[in-house]
Amino acid sequence: MQHLIRTSDFSKDEILGLFDDAREFLKFEPNEILKGKIIVTLFFENSTRTRSSFEIAAKRLGAEVVSLDVSTSSASKGETIFDTVANINAMKPDAIIIRHSECGLPESLAGYVDCPIINAGDGKHAHPTQALLDLFTIYEHFNGNTEGKKVAIVGDVRTSRVAGSNRRLLPRFGMDVSFISPECFRYDGDEFKTYIHISDVIDDLDVIMSLRTQLERHSEIYFESLNEYAKDYCITNEVVGDRDILLLHPGPVNRNVDISDDMLKDPRCKVLTQVTNGVAIRAAVLKKLILA
Amino acid sequence: MQHLIRTSDFSKDEILGLFDDAREFLKFEPNEILKGKIIVTLFFENSTRTRSSFEIAAKRLGAEVVSLDVSTSSASKGETIFDTVANINAMKPDAIIIRHSECGLPESLAGYVDCPIINAGDGKHAHPTQALLDLFTIYEHFNGNTEGKKVAIVGDVRTSRVAGSNRRLLPRFGMDVSFISPECFRYDGDEFKTYIHISDVIDDLDVIMSLRTQLERHSEIYFESLNEYAKDYCITNEVVGDRDILLLHPGPVNRNVDISDDMLKDPRCKVLTQVTNGVAIRAAVLKKLILA
Amino acid sequence: MQHLIRTSDFSKDEILGLFDDAREFLKFEPNEILKGKIIVTLFFENSTRTRSSFEIAAKRLGAEVVSLDVSTSSASKGETIFDTVANINAMKPDAIIIRHSECGLPESLAGYVDCPIINAGDGKHAHPTQALLDLFTIYEHFNGNTEGKKVAIVGDVRTSRVAGSNRRLLPRFGMDVSFISPECFRYDGDEFKTYIHISDVIDDLDVIMSLRTQLERHSEIYFESLNEYAKDYCITNEVVGDRDILLLHPGPVNRNVDISDDMLKDPRCKVLTQVTNGVAIRAAVLKKLILA
């Protein structure tokens, strides 16, 4: 049995296999690949978007989804998360999808279950299905020729789990990842090139991955407002010009903070394609882990 | 592709076609007409009743339903409803059912989606599936002979979207619609006869459609209490007498305010038949729009 | 048509028939026994655990589940529970599963519906599917030889509906039920032996059923803390020793209050087996009542 805690749980070949399945699922032809399977979602952090994506992915394959409302659950009766998960596991689901604010929690649950655990985001650590769908979107855009492509991740790279998963995954497919962020959001580490200004590097880029800026996640006040941040980091038509650049964002986008209205309408911006690919990639992950 | 924003989106022939299907669905025989289809419900106003009716209708046809919890969704992250819907649409559902407090909102979303939108109530504007189920209930009661039937809509006709949809739909099937309400709830317009007292018109009526009175919807205080309103507008056994009148209400009924306990038990009152018909009509609408 | 309000709604033969089905369902082989059926859950008291167990049971048999969010439902619009249930019934579900804080409420609804009602817990009265799964766990453990087995129910036997259902059910299968509790939680009645100290009776026991202690359910303060209660009533390795005793608990367990960490890991403790059996028993109940 295999879990998906981080993208390194899958080999490159396994990931390419997921892409083959995802490509099939994008045809949206009816199927019953996971008929009779029960998938539990357990979101300790709200995320209608990610949860819906998983739910639709599961239902597209004929599986049943049981969404546990964690806020009203036994957690409030003083039960530990380990007991909660052990109990859910005793109901014999075929997979558990979990999001939690604590880094490493999904992994620590693996010893308590008899079914695959899928990490749908754990704190600042990882968000593996997001990184897989980002990679898939890039991979399809370049017809598989990702070798040497230059990707800049822009924004709060320090606390973003999307950045965390992507910086580990994209280099495995030959991509050159750099970070662009204000000093306060700078990545703590020296394995990646980091820049302060987009203009320093934009001419070399093939892909810009803008992140959602959540000032409230920081205990210190770095910017007086999102608009102040936007002055330097919003991806606008002016910034991108007529360069041949693929623009991505994990969503939800802060309009005119992360990306400008005009760039969101630009065909180079594939934010909604990412959403569609997300359903297909999650379906592929569910199929792989449950039928393994 | 067709949406259902208002009842005029369907021709008379199309509506009669819905009734044929609804009649079939009332047999509650198992079917898989919408197997493999994904229907998203997006209720910005709570309505367990209408949402459940749609959900049961969809599931009766073998469809899967994904209910987005809008209160905890990206809306709270500052995303516009247009972005929320564009994102849901990118997950490729087969229909989106939406309720919102703003008139016209479901219609304005139509340009953002690739699938049918079904208006499950928008502000004071329209509630088309309610009007269709009301019409169906009347149509079946009179074996299709609705021509010339006199229907009085009683209560807060000014702000009721049920009244709004019915006053447009019923005349298309030959019915003569009038309104009965206190001055403060009077309909703003002169295409319909309006009365203050039920007694002025009751002898001529074939159908009474009582509305739910929600005093809290008004900024001014018109009545000190629902009981005060009820003195003149509650449909009681005394008011109806032994007249051959069909009594309807969209629910939930304020007992002894909108309709008295005794009339709710009277066989002329078809409130629960409306609920059953609602599931069948909504199933017919889903079938029509999704398989079109 | 049959409801399940209390365990006495089923004869001994019917219960043994449920066990035969439950044993089949424990193989977790795909089936579509309840395909096309719609089951409504209506929980006026939160219980993620019990609701999930029913939901998974239903989905394992191919049924669809509609979970009504009662807190945001028509109840808040002043509708009585009888009207709410009459309305749900008019949507023609195939079963309604209800939990409510008021004793007797599920039974009183039976007259308002055309489908089976399953009591998922009503106040201090009954929790019949819990008692059935407890009995099933005992029955399987002793290979059906339950005659003469001595079962002690430990803890707050006065207000526990689990105790209420079990004290009625277990004696029908030949078991000798006694209660162990502090004076303040003592059972009001003299049909059962009652003890204050576990040590007085432990040498004779075959089964210990520990209950969840919820001090907040009592208006008087009997114990300063759960820890104080635990000193005398927590089932520890020291209490049980090497006796051949089956240890049960309806969950969620207060660790080191109801049962100690070491006993929870002990193979004689079948708490998680009860959870698994719960899904199978509930599936058997749904099958029996819906297909009857």
Task: Let me know if domain A128-271 sits in CATH 3.40.50.1370.
Answer: yes
Is the Cβ of A36 closer than 8 Å to some Cβ of chain C? yes
Contact assignment for A48 to B73 by CB distance below 8 Å: yes
Instruction: Retrieve residue C262's tokens.
Output: 């070491």
Q: Which of C12, C27, C77, C92 is catalytic?
A: C77
Q: Which of B6, B37, B51, B99 is catalytic?
A: B99
Partners of residue C31 in chain A, C-beta under 8 Å: 36
Per-residue pLDDT at C179: 98
Q: Are A246 and A270 in contact (CB under 8 A)?
A: yes
Contact assignment for A66 to C49 by CB distance below 8 Å: no
Q: Which residues contact C58 (CB under 8 A, 6 or more apart)?
A: C34, C39, C64, C65, C282, C283, C286
Determine whether the annotation assigns residue C231 to a binding site: no
The full DSSP string for chain A is ---BSSGGGS-HHHHHHHHHHHHHHTT-----TTTT-EEEEEESS--HHHHHHHHHHHHHTT-EEEEE-GGGSGGGGT--HHHHHHHHHHT--SEEEEEESSTTHHHHHGGG-SS-EEEEEETTTB-HHHHHHHHHHHHHHTTT--TT-EEEEES-TTT-HHHHHHHHHGGGGT-EEEEE--GGG--SSSSSEEES-GGGTGGG-SEEEE----GGG-SS---S-HHHHHHHH-B-HHHHTT---EEE--S---BTTTB-HHHHHSTTB-HHHHHHHHHHHHHHHHHHHHH-
Is the Cβ of B121 closer than 8 Å to some Cβ of chain A? no
Residue of B nearest to C80 (CA): B255
Is the Cβ of A64 closer than 8 Å to some Cβ of chain C? yes
How far does C49 lie from chain A, in Å, by closest CA? 7
Could you give the C-alpha distances from C134 to A132, C5, C115, C171, C281, in angstroms and in order? 44, 17, 26, 13, 10
| Cα–Cα dist B249/B278, whole Å | 12
The beta-carbon neighbor of A252 closest among B38, B40, B83 is B83
Determine whether the annotation assigns residue B92 to a binding site: no
Residue boundaries of the structural domains of chain C: 7-126+275-291, 128-270
pLDDT digits (tens, 9 = 90+) for A35-87: 999 999 999 988 889 999 999 999 999 999 999 977 655 555 678 899 999 99
Determine whether the annotation assigns residue B127 to a binding site: yes
B127 carries an active-site annotation: yes
Is the Cβ of C111 closer than 8 Å to some Cβ of chain A? no
Mean pLDDT, residues A177-184: 96
* pLDDT values of chain C reduced to their tens digit, one per residue, 292 residues: 999 999 999 999 999 999 999 999 999 998 999 999 999 999 998 888 999 999 999 999 999 999 997 765 555 567 889 999 999 999 999 999 999 999 999 999 998 999 999 999 999 999 999 999 999 999 999 999 999 999 999 999 998 999 999 999 999 999 999 999 999 999 988 999 999 999 999 999 999 999 998 777 777 777 888 888 999 999 999 999 999 999 999 999 999 999 999 999 999 999 999 999 999 999 999 999 999 8
CA atoms within 13 A on the CB side of B46: 12
How far does C187 lie from chain A, in Å, by closest CA? 25
Report H helices in chain C: 12-25, 48-60, 81-90, 105-109, 128-141, 161-169, 226-233, 237-240, 261-265, 271-291
Is the Cβ of C1 closer than 8 Å to some Cβ of chain B? no
Torsion angle of the four alpha carbons B277, C71, B119, B98, in this order, in degrees rounded to the nearest 10: -140
Determine whether the annotation assigns residue A127 to a binding site: yes
The DSSP code for C126 is B
Give backbone dihedrals phi and psi of B67, rounded to 5 degrees, phi first: -95, 110
Task: Let me know if domain C7-126+275-291 sits in CATH 3.50.30.30.
Answer: no
- What ipTM was assigned to the predicted interfaces of this complex? 0.94
Determine whether the annotation assigns residue B251 to a binding site: yes
Is the Cβ of A252 closer than 8 Å to some Cβ of chain B? yes
Report, as ranges of residue numbers, the positions in chain B whose pLDDT lies below 50: none
Per-residue pLDDT at B74: 52
Residue of B nearest to A47 (CA): B73
Per-residue pLDDT at A73: 53
Per-residue pLDDT at B77: 66
Q: Which chains touch B (3 or more CB pairs under 8 A)?
A: A, C
Of B287, B4, B282, the C-alpha closest to B118 is B4
The DSSP code for B252 is -
Residue C53: CB atoms within 10 Å: 29
Contact assignment for B49 to C74 by CB distance below 8 Å: yes
Q: Which residues contact B278 (CB under 8 A, 6 or more apart)?
A: B53, B129, B130, B133, C91
Is the Cβ of B30 closer than 8 Å to some Cβ of chain A? no
Using DSSP's 3-state secondary structure scheme, residue C235 falls into strand
C231 carries an active-site annotation: no
Per-residue pLDDT at C226: 84
Is the Cβ of A68 closer than 8 Å to some Cβ of chain C? yes
Domain B129-272 top-level CATH class: alpha beta
Contact assignment for A254 to B93 by CB distance below 8 Å: no
Q: Which amino acid is at C141?
A: H
Contact assignment for B272 to C38 by CB distance below 8 Å: no
Per-residue pLDDT at B71: 66
Superfamily classification of domain C128-270: Aspartate/ornithine carbamoyltransferase (3.40.50.1370)
pLDDT digits (tens, 9 = 90+) for A27-36: 999 899 999 9
Partners of residue A74 in chain C, C-beta under 8 Å: 48-49, 251-252
Q: Are A42 and A98 in contact (CB under 8 A)?
A: yes
Of B206, B203, B217, the C-alpha closest to B162 is B217
The full DSSP string for A37-49 is -EEEEEESS--HH
Contact assignment for C251 to A87 by CB distance below 8 Å: yes
Partners of residue A61 in chain C, C-beta under 8 Å: none
Per-residue pLDDT at B144: 98
Is the Cβ of A254 closer than 8 Å to some Cβ of chain B? yes
> Bridge partners of C118?
C4, C97
| Residue entry with tokens 């029996």 | C288
Is the Cβ of A265 closer than 8 Å to some Cβ of chain B? no
The beta-carbon neighbor of A72 closest among C48, C56, C62 is C48
C218 carries an active-site annotation: no
Residues 40-59 of C with CB under 8 A from A: 46, 48-49, 52-53, 55-56, 59
| Cα–Cα dist C258/C260, whole Å | 7
Task: Let me know if domain B7-127+275-291 sits in CATH 3.40.47.10.
Answer: no
| Cα–Cα dist B210/C183, whole Å | 57
The answer to whether domain A7-127+275-291 and domain A128-271 are alike in fold is yes
| Cα–Cα dist A36/C30, whole Å | 6
Q: Which chains touch A (3 or more CB pairs under 8 A)?
A: B, C
Q: How far does Cα A13 stand from its chain's mean position?
A: 20
Partners of residue B73 in chain A, C-beta under 8 Å: 46, 48-49
| Cα–Cα dist A271/A252, whole Å | 9
How far does B39 lie from chain A, in Å, by closest CA? 10
Residue of B nearest to C92 (CA): B276
Per-residue pLDDT at B2: 96
Could you give the C-alpha distances from C38 to A35, B21, B58, in angstroms and in order? 18, 20, 11
Of A35-49, A89-103, A128-142, C219-233, the one with minimum mean pLDDT is C219-233
